[in-house]
């Protein structure tokens, strides 16, 4: 996640100032899909019995294929300019949403904030990449049973002890996500000299 400020690249985590419409670029790739079991070097180093004891025979064992990025979301936050200014409209989560094409190479988007100059105030932006849903342990959390009104009337947590059957894998789909660091952009009014340079 970075910003283009004139000819300068401003990486995420930066503080900068601009008198122009800020332009941004975001890129993300999905995690590697996992092969079943463990790589051969794990068994060679630890022995098959030790691998089975430590991790149940499942290790970090990436394939060459990646999960897809479903979408990229942009969050925009503007600090208060007065103590009594309502904050509800200042935190926009998400502010922009970009759906991603299903590509192994990942997803890249560009956007700008056309309101920045007219607003004339400090603004921060950060990006969130959402991966396609995958099976995760305890992703369903309390595993609620719902009534017709959508209220949780009973829970069935996956405890990980004698209260949950040993053959229960506790898997449920969830979309993993990655967050960028923010970019803080202060508004910098143009000087008279800069305005004169643009005058034909």
Domain ranges for the chain = 2-31+67-133+176-195, 134-174
Which of 7, 21, 8, 54 has the alpha carbon at shortest distance from 125?
21
Which of 179, 185, 177 has the alpha carbon at shortest distance from 1?
179
Tell whether the model's pLDDT for residue 197 goes beyond 90: no
- Tokens in use for 112? 């700008």
**Cβ atoms of residues 156 and 142 within 8 Å:** yes
**Cα–Cα distance for residue pair 177/107, rounded to 1 Å:** 13
**Cβ atoms of residues 176 and 31 within 8 Å:** yes
> For residue 16, what pLDDT is reported?
94
Q: How confident is the model at residue 54 (pLDDT cuts 50, 70, 90)?
A: confident
Give the number of C-alpha atoms closer than 13 A to the C-alpha of residue 89, restricted to the C-beta side: 4
Stronger pLDDT, 116 or 198, i.e. the higher one:
116
**Span 86-95, average pLDDT:** 93
> For residue 104, what pLDDT is reported?
95
Mean pLDDT of the chain: 91
Q: Kindly report whether the global pTM for this prediction surpasses the value 0.85.
A: no
Stronger pLDDT, 165 or 132, i.e. the higher one:
132
> For residue 25, what pLDDT is reported?
96
Domain 2-31+67-133+176-195 has CATH 3.40.50.300: no
**Span 46-75, average pLDDT:** 92
């Amino acid at each position: 996640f970075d910003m283009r400020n004139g000819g300068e690249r401003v990486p995420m985590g930066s503080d900068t100032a601009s008198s122009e419409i800020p332009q941004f670029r975001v890129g993300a790739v999905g995690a590697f899909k996992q092969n079943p079991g463990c790589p051969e070097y794990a068994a060679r180093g630890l022995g098959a019995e030790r691998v089975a004891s430590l991790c149940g025979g499942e290790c970090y064992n990436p394939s060459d294929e990646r999960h897809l990025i479903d979408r990229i979301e942009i969050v925009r936050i503007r600090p208060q300019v007065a103590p009594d200014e309502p904050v509800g409209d200042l935190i926009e989560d998400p502010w922009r949403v970009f759906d991603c094409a299903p590509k192994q190479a990942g997803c890249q988007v560009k956007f700008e904030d056309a309101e920045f100059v007219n607003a004339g105030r400090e603004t921060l932006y950060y990006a969130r990449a959402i991966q396609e849903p995958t099976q995760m342990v305890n992703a369903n959390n309390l595993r609620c049973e719902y009534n017709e009104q959508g209220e949780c009337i009973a829970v069935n947590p996956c405890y990980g002890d004698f209260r949950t059957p040993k053959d229960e894998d506790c898997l449920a789909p969830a979309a993993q996500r990655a967050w960028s660091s923010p970019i803080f952009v202060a508004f910098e009014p143009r000087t008279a000299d800069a305005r004169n340079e643009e005058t034909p």
